[in-house]
Structure 1
Amino acid sequence: MTERFIRGLAKLKWVVLIAWLAIAVAAMLGLPDLQAIVRKTEQKFIPADSESVEAKQIMAQIDPKTTTKSSAIIVYSRDAGLTGQDHEWLKGKAAALSELAGKDGIKSVQSAYGTPELATKFRSKDGTTEMVIVGFERADNDAMTLEAVDKLADDVLGAPAGSKVSLTGSAPIGKDFQESSEEGLAKTELLTVGLVLVILLIVFRSPIAPFIPLITIGISLLITRGLVAFATNYGMTVSSFTESFLIAVLFGAGTDYCILLIQRFREELKFTDDKVEALVRTMRTVGKTVAFSASTVFVAFFLIGFAQFGLYQSAVGVSIGVAVTLIAGITLTPALLMIFGKDTFWPSKVKSGQGHGESKLWRGMASLAARRPVAVLLVTVILLAPLTLLFHGKRSFDDLAEINPSFGSVQGFRQVEHAFGSGEVFPVSIALTSSESMRTPEALAALESASASLSKINGVKEVRSAVRPLGEKLADLTVTNQLTKTADAIGQMKYGVDKIGNGLTSASDSIVNGQSEMNQLTAGLRTMASRTKEAKQGLDHVYQGLQSASNGASKVAGGLSQSSQLSSSMAADLQKLLKAHPELKDDAAMKQLLGKQQGLTDGLSQLSKGALTVAQSFKQINPSVSKVSGGLGQLAEGQSQAADGTAKLGTGLSRLTAGLKDGAKGLTDISMGLTSVKEAEQAIGDSQIPGWNLPKAALDSPELQQALDYYIAKDGRTAKLDVVLSVNPYSPEALVTVDQLRSMLKQSLNGSAIRAPKVYVSGTSAQIEELKDISRSDFVRTGSFVLIGIFIVLMILLRSILAPLYVLLSLGFNYLVTMGIVEFIFVKLAGKPGLSWSASFFVFLIIVALGVDYSIFLMARFKEEYRPGGISYAMSKAMSTTGGVIISAAVIMGGTFAALMLSGVNTLLQIGAGIVIGLVLYSTVFMGLVVPALANLIGEANWWPFRKREAVQVQDAMGSQEEKSPRLAKQT
């Protein structure tokens, strides 16, 4: 920095002040509002090519009309159980919201009153809680969604007395997170300004000096906010952490730079009453130190812009703030010093020999490090190394921990967690693609098999898919259920078959027994027919005899008597046949025979009567004899036919008997086979072998088609599954479960009817799993960039390679010790599952970027005081003069970050605690002992490979510097 520039700055001090004020006003009025932009920015920062983002895009294609981008859950509860009044009230609200679908950002409403089959999914089993899910058209952070959430909160007011109504879900949680962050930011701003003011009053013991850094940093912050907000138009990423870090870093580092300038200005004033000359000397010496200190911070935060992870990138805005603060520090701060002059330190008066003074404590530590450098290093390492072992890298991804527990979204989530389960609010969604349609029985069977496999994984409560729309398998379509029903039907069939078989066997036996009787009947009929013919012939002779002689009357009477006996015998035989074989009653031949037999009986009866009166009148007998003769002829013919019929019947019965025996044997075999089948079916049912069978009729049913339309695209090539976890979606167990879900689904679909399947997992737990991997890899990558950038800046400043190396090593060791202490406090003592997942990165970044400032303060003065062969003296002088400045700077920096601990945001609490611990350790133990010991141990090699040229330059410059600086001449 040239002397001409500094003197010109001193002359134009009021112009500089007015110019900065004007720029600040212009930034406030003309540049965008950073907080408003942060409020509209997505805070997840998942890369666009990540699996979870692809999964959302794929699932949106299934049914764009019903796909929502965010949601809110109305959680209605009553400790003693919901009443009828509660249900009526909630039913009315659900109906009113349903009418708003398609308006004001609301896309869908799901409740127990819309689909009765889903009622159990919206009502808890204990009857204390009920949910209504409202889907939104736009993302959580969209202005329309935020307005819809506010309106929804107003709509659910006025619930029946004694009930509780809360809003949770992605949109309310995101909104509450933003509000919680803004509340924390407001607290941080006030606390930071208050702490810095108090610390500056203590350091300077003046009411005027503190306002120089406050004015410088205040104006820088106003301008920076506008510039960062404007830069978002060109792709710069911001987050809820951006403003918090801007406030902490600018007030911390900026105040440190101002303190360094003010203290050096005070130190120079003891050698001259000319404030311009004192300013020139100040800027010529520590102005360079401030520039390099700010450069390391700028480089560190600028390189964050090369991170792949958006949340890390959001810290790049701090680099703009550091650049603005540096420019203000080397222009506005000197202008203010010129305006106030020696009155800066009022009521104290700067006298010759005063200034910042030298610290006896730091001189004593410098002496110890110079005399026993190895012992100092060994003792320090032995004492601090065990603390690094406390750092296991345990991280927590619980977003709810970042929100005040009194917020409605947190209370609603806890109520759902208690009544329904941890995973009900944020299920894991899986997108599945195939090269062919999955709307086929075979593909759906494969999907059912995969769903069954997923449901058996530890940490899974239920799986909802096209074949399990309610989270449970469809019993009517399972093979086990169908086999059970088949087995029951087979059992009934077997019973019928056995009964028929028994009947056939009995019938066969009866027929065999009656067959001999049938043979006797046939023989009797044939005898009857023969005798009937003989009777007819006799009647014919009787008739002839009656015509010729009356003496034939006695013969006729005897013949009639014989015929009567024969007819009675035949009738008895027929009755026996009918009793033995009732089935013959319906036989046509038998009916005809019976009719003729009856006619014969009647005729013989009449003939018998006529025989008694034959003597009285032959004229009357002759017609009767003629009639009987004709009847006997017909009877003889009928008897012959009956005999032929009974013969044929006997043959048929023989064949029927053989057939019945064969049928009975076949039915016995069938019965035995059915028994075996039933036993096999029962065994399959008992073993619960997974299986699924989808008949064509079931596939075309309206109920299944509705489920298919919800879970599978029209072309059948895209499907989704919703997995409800039984563990907290933010927990480490959930991350393990997500990985198992992905692996199990791929394994289950391998070789199935679903062709070329591809699996994409989304949801809160899946995003956390991605955050875990992305943040870890980006930490290593970006952290390496930061270390390399700082090393280059230190190498240029110190003109050395070794000195920057051990400075960075000391910073790395300090970071590990710090994180060990922080993890012990929050995880071991406070019982947290882990540190906030982003805390370790930002603690590293800020400790390295800001802690290196103290190294620069010390090493720059060390380099300034160095003379060839005077390592110990130079370090002692540097420590005694800058030790107080380092402590003051560390206290201020620690104070600004301590304000983050009171923000109410868990991550900022841990970051603030880590930075305070790290800065305190580094500014005392490492700056007071470790770095000086390393510098003394290395000796002249501190300036390798520039040592010789540096020595020549120092020797050549000593004379001219002693002439220009009375202070330097006195020291020399």
Structure 2
Amino acid sequence: MTERFVRGLARAKWIVLIAWLAITVAAMFGLPDLQAIVRNTEQKFISSDAESSVAKKMMEQINPASITKSSAIVVYSRASGLTKEDQDWLRNKASELTALSGKEGFQSVQSAYDTPELASKFRSGDGTTEMLLVGFEWPENDIITQEAVDKLSEKVQGAPAGSQVSLTGSAPISKDFQKSSEEGLKKTELLTVGLVLIILLIVFRSPVAPFIPLMTIGISLVITRGLVALATDYGMPVSSFTESFLIAVLFGAGTDYCILLIQRFREELSHDGDKVEAMIRTMRTVGKTVAYSASTVFVAFFLIGFAQFGLYQSAVGVSIGVAVTLLAGLTLTPALLMIFGGATFWPSKVISGQGHGESKLWTAMASLAARRPVAVLLVTVILLAPVTLLFEGKRSFDDIAEIDSGHSSVQGFRQVEQAFGSGEVFPVSIALGSSTSMRTPEALAALEAASESLSRLAGVQEVRSAIRPLGEQLADLAVPNQLDQASDALGEMKNGVDKIAAGLTSASGSIESGQDDIDKLTNGLRTMASQTTKAKTGLDQIYNGLKDTAKGTDQVAGGLSQSAILAESMSADLQKLLQAHPELVEDANIQALLGKQQGLSGGLKDLTKGTAALQQGFKKLNPGVAEAAGGLEQLAAGQKQAADGTAKLKGGLDTLTGGLNDGAKGLADISLGLAQVKDAQTMIGNSQIPGWNLPQEALDRPELQQALDYYMSEDGKTTKFDVILSVNPYSAEAMGTVDNLRNALNQSLAKSPISEPQIRLSGTTAQIEELKAISQNDFTRTGTFVLIGIFIVLMILLRSFLAPLYVLLSLGFNYFVTMGIVEFIFVRLLGETGLSWSASFFIFLIIVALGVDYSIFLMARFKEEYRPRGIAYAMTRAMSTTGGVIISAAVIMGGTFAALMLSGVNTLLQIGAGIVIGLVLYSTVFMGLVVPALANLVGEANWWPFNKRDRTAAPLSSSNQLNPPSVHTD
């Protein structure tokens, strides 16, 4: 079958070349751009049911209209302190940016100018730095957000001389990280191609031979990029690492496969010069080796797709690249070799009977491993085992360290860190849910107690919540402050009570001294009452006399009336007498009588008038005298009652005196109690026991309602806390704070009025803590899958159970030695807090997936050379013929990953360093000593349980013809 395939390939070699070129062109113009997709794809490394994801969904219920998917912070600073010109410039920029709200991806702007009460949160205490917070409508990786960041960058140009403006926050950091990754990728591509070309020129000593693997891998890479980009439409995850790994693995592994094919082709071509027959023999031997080698890499990266963690899953695209490279390596590379033939190795000539040379070094190591396998293993373990102890698993999650410090986002972050504190840019957000509304005084008091509990934790700078929106307890509602006010009032009350007590004591003494006067008053009132009674009796007598006098006056008036009538009659008679006797007019007696009579009539008239007036006076006087008599009677009765009252007053004053004395004593006790209350308040203040009281009228205040609307949903069932850390949010100390926050909140709310509290944490630090657990668990789970998958491939290839087992054990031991060295270099020597959190996983994956290729190269040749002459001969032969190939492959693979070290991305630097160290160790120490020693030690059991085979007929390879023929292992 192999022969038919190769002969058909020989006839259609030009068609194969043209077909691959056509597919490449179609991929370039017809398939999506992977880099653009990576740039605009949100890096969802956390699943939707993870705690931080649930927390974000809960917080979106608080105020959906104000939720921002990403943000940027404009950091304005001046070392000598901000000037009025600076603030005027910032105020104008805030107005300009506010006008963009709702347009071009901008959603909101917050500053010290639109919310003066929050000015302290936007201006640093030292007066050197001020921030503007800009919210965006879309996630940081969305193209609209990236364009908005660019527009924002343009808007903040032209700041006053001497000042510095930087952009930081989730969106600018993401953009700069992506920019760093793309710049690093370009460096990696150029360096990888350059290194591979130099290595190939050294290996083949020909300008033609390197062209074949470079063309094969270049075409494979272009097609793979398009296929991976297309696969994202069907859910395949990608990340900034996807392209980097594609380049490194395809150039590394692909070049190795090409070298193996080209070297074997040269070896076979040297026997008869027939390129078709040479290719048939090449494909029959190393063709299968290449297929199995690529299969292990394919299986390893394919199984990554079963990881639960998004970043790990993003490496699954490499499996597509390996499949494409394998297909190109088994079709395009042979086609090119048959097109060029012997010219492949120009200017060198392939001389008949001259294959590639055997390595004397590898032959010597094979001899040592065969003669002293136990000693080799013991010495290796004794020397390398201590190195594994250097690997403590310290990991760093600092995304800022991944970005070049010259980028604006890093400079802005460092400035905020210096001026405001490490946690200001990325606070920890805690979502709290309840089955009932928390917009009640009791629930808000519980939230205040929870806020106070959180604020007292180590590593916490301040806590902002619905009840402390500025990060500080509301002073008017704090019990200690209320106690201070109460203490002042109690002090004044105590002084008043002391004065009252003193007054009562004085009053009691005055009352006691005045009781004799009360006795005299009582006797006087009784005497007055007796005299008043006598006066009333006299008035009664006067009243009776007046009544008699009035009657006499009436009688006198009647007599006078009759006398007047008689006098009138006498006057009429005299007039008649004078008319009858005119002569009497001159009579003196008559004239005298007439004068008396007139006088009597006038007197009687006056007396009658006087008597009438006297009668009227008596009529008015008599009721007054009667009333006066009644009044004196009442006065006498009142005086008697007053006398009785004064007597009772004396008894009441006796009781009052005792009561005043008791009251003075009671007030003294009250004064002492007030002093004790004041002392207790002082003790509470000194002991800093939290306390809080929220009256209903305070709850209804507009400023408190505004804070509630910002931090709590309308139905009151969801609220949030923003915890500002005092340590770097990426640090181990910050991650240790996450569990403390959760525990403190649980304890605080355990017996609170908040019903069925649901606590979920989000934010950079909380996500890092979550990543730490998820990535570690996924590492163990996925790593196990990878090892099992590779074991199955090796078992099928080698038809052995023990050989794959010790090969994997050697790979595992090599991994821990490698990680010990890498951690020692970066943590202990270079002073980093830990290795990048994803570095250990990818170093493991690539060392195992690619390192096993070298085992396959060796063990496949070992199986091919296996003869009844013994294990030692087969292993020596395999090592002497493949040792140079393994070293060449390791150098090329190491070179491609060494290019990652110059990418400018810290994680890729560590991964590249780890893989270079691991491959160098494995291709020399483990492949040169450990694996051969194990193979010799195991002996015939290498093929257990498949060691029952027919050894009577074995096809010979050309290399076997150089030695006494024996049975082929197949």
Indicate the TM-score class for this superposition, using the shorter chain for normalisation.
Answer: 0.7 to 0.9
- The equivalent residue for 1:795 is 795
Cα separation, 1, equivalents of 2:223 and 2:117: 59
Larger radius of gyration: 2
Contact 1:508 1:657 in 2 (8 A): no
1:740-819 to structure 2, matched below 5 A, reads 740-819=740-819
Relative distance call for 1:36 and 1:376 in structure 2 (3 A) is same
- The equivalent residue for 1:397 is 397
Aligned: 1:676 with 2:673: yes
Relative distance call for 1:781 and 1:636 in structure 2 (3 A) is closer
1:558-569 to structure 2, matched below 5 A, reads none
Contact 1:515 1:650 in 2 (8 A): no
Cα separation, 2, equivalents of 1:393 and 1:908: 18
Aligned: 1:322 with 2:322: yes
Q: Give the match's secondary structure for 2:133.
A: strand
Contact 1:530 1:636 in 2 (8 A): no
Aligned: 1:659 with 2:656: yes
Unaligned runs of 5+ residues in structure 2 are 539-624, 966-970
The offset of 1:516, in angstroms, is 2.4
Contact 1:532 1:633 in 2 (8 A): no
Cα separation, 1, equivalents of 2:138 and 2:74: 18
Deviations 1:320-359 (A, max 9, x none): 0000000100110011111111111111111123221111
1:660-739 to structure 2, matched below 5 A, reads 661-663=658-660, 665-687=662-684, 688-739=688-739
Q: Give the match's secondary structure for 1:957.
A: coil
Deviations 1:544-565 (A, max 9, x none): xxxxxxxxxxxxxxxxxxxxxx
Please provide the CA RMSD for this pair: 2.5
- The equivalent residue for 1:384 is 384
Relative distance call for 1:434 and 1:634 in structure 2 (3 A) is closer
Deviations 1:7-57 (A, max 9, x none): 111121111111100000000000000000001122251111100000000
Relative distance call for 1:748 and 1:63 in structure 2 (3 A) is same
- The equivalent residue for 2:893 is 893
Aligned: 1:134 with 2:167: no
The offset of 1:140, in angstroms, is 1.1
Unaligned runs of 5+ residues in structure 1 are 539-628
1:613-632 to structure 2, matched below 5 A, reads none
Aligned: 1:207 with 2:200: no
Contact 1:7 1:276 in 2 (8 A): yes
Cα separation, 2, equivalents of 1:838 and 1:845: 11
User: Which of 661-670 and 834-843 deviates more?
Assistant: 661-670
User: Which of 435-444 and 888-897 deviates more?
Assistant: 435-444
Sequence identity, in percent? 74
- The equivalent residue for 1:96 is 96
| TM-score, scaled to structure 2 | 0.87
- The equivalent residue for 1:265 is 265
Relative distance call for 1:651 and 1:344 in structure 2 (3 A) is same
Cα separation, 2, equivalents of 1:442 and 1:321: 61
Cα separation, 1, equivalents of 2:738 and 2:537: 110
Q: Give the match's secondary structure for 1:166.
A: strand
Cα separation, 2, equivalents of 1:735 and 1:390: 23
- The equivalent residue for 2:194 is 194
Deviations 1:776-833 (A, max 9, x none): 1111111111111111111111111111111111101100100000000000100010
Q: Which amino acid aligns with 1:25?
A: V
Relative distance call for 1:931 and 1:633 in structure 2 (3 A) is closer
- The equivalent residue for 1:31 is 31
Contact 2:431 2:760 in 1 (8 A): yes
- The equivalent residue for 2:331 is 331
User: Which of 101-110 and 321-330 deviates more?
Assistant: 101-110
Cα separation, 2, equivalents of 1:275 and 1:948: 36
The offset of 1:645, in angstroms, is 8.3
Contact 1:494 1:671 in 2 (8 A): no
Q: Give the match's secondary structure for 1:75.
A: strand
1:412-491 to structure 2, matched below 5 A, reads 412-491=412-491
- The equivalent residue for 1:909 is 909
Relative distance call for 1:126 and 1:431 in structure 2 (3 A) is same
Cα separation, 2, equivalents of 1:240 and 1:137: 23
Deviations 1:755-794 (A, max 9, x none): 1111000000010011001111111111111111111111
Deviations 1:497-553 (A, max 9, x none): 332333343334334333423544565677789899999999xxxxxxxxxxxxxxx
Contact 1:484 1:682 in 2 (8 A): no
Cα separation, 1, equivalents of 2:535 and 2:850: 146
Q: Which amino acid aligns with 1:680?
A: V
Relative distance call for 1:475 and 1:535 in structure 2 (3 A) is closer
Cα separation, 1, equivalents of 2:777 and 2:537: 128
1:189-588 to structure 2, matched below 5 A, reads 189-520=189-520, 523=523
Cα separation, 2, equivalents of 1:471 and 1:493: 35
Relative distance call for 1:875 and 1:536 in structure 2 (3 A) is closer
Contact 2:445 2:693 in 1 (8 A): yes
Contact 1:434 1:755 in 2 (8 A): yes
- The equivalent residue for 1:930 is 930
Deviations 1:52-77 (A, max 9, x none): 00000000001101111211111111
Relative distance call for 1:202 and 1:642 in structure 2 (3 A) is same
Deviations 1:891-949 (A, max 9, x none): 00000000000000000000000000000001011111111111111111111111121
Relative distance call for 1:534 and 1:838 in structure 2 (3 A) is closer
Aligned: 1:968 with 2:961: yes
Cα separation, 1, equivalents of 2:837 and 2:514: 98
Cα separation, 1, equivalents of 2:637 and 2:48: 102
Deviations 1:134-177 (A, max 9, x none): 11111111111111111111111111111111111111111111
- The equivalent residue for 1:543 is none
Deviations 1:365-411 (A, max 9, x none): 11111111111111111111111111111100000011001111111
Number of residue-to-residue matches in the alignment = 877
User: Which of 78-87 and 868-877 deviates more?
Assistant: 868-877
Contact 2:494 2:674 in 1 (8 A): no
Deviations 1:416-435 (A, max 9, x none): 11111111110000111111
Cα separation, 1, equivalents of 2:67 and 2:245: 37
Contact 1:532 1:635 in 2 (8 A): no
Relative distance call for 1:537 and 1:182 in structure 2 (3 A) is closer
Cα separation, 1, equivalents of 2:731 and 2:413: 14
Deviations 1:83-118 (A, max 9, x none): 111111111111221222222222221111112211
Relative distance call for 1:290 and 1:512 in structure 2 (3 A) is same
Q: Give the match's secondary structure for 1:74.
A: strand
1:836-915 to structure 2, matched below 5 A, reads 836-915=836-915
Q: Give the match's secondary structure for 2:432.
A: strand
Cα separation, 2, equivalents of 1:148 and 1:181: 20
Q: Give the match's secondary structure for 1:71.
A: strand
Q: Give the match's secondary structure for 2:141.
A: coil
User: Which of 372-381 and 217-226 deviates more?
Assistant: 372-381
Q: Give the match's secondary structure for 1:139.
A: coil
Contact 1:529 1:635 in 2 (8 A): no
Q: Which amino acid aligns with 1:733?
A: E
Q: Give the match's secondary structure for 2:73.
A: strand
| TM-score, scaled to structure 1 | 0.87
Cα separation, 2, equivalents of 1:531 and 1:970: 167
The offset of 1:840, in angstroms, is 0.4
Cα separation, 2, equivalents of 1:78 and 1:799: 72
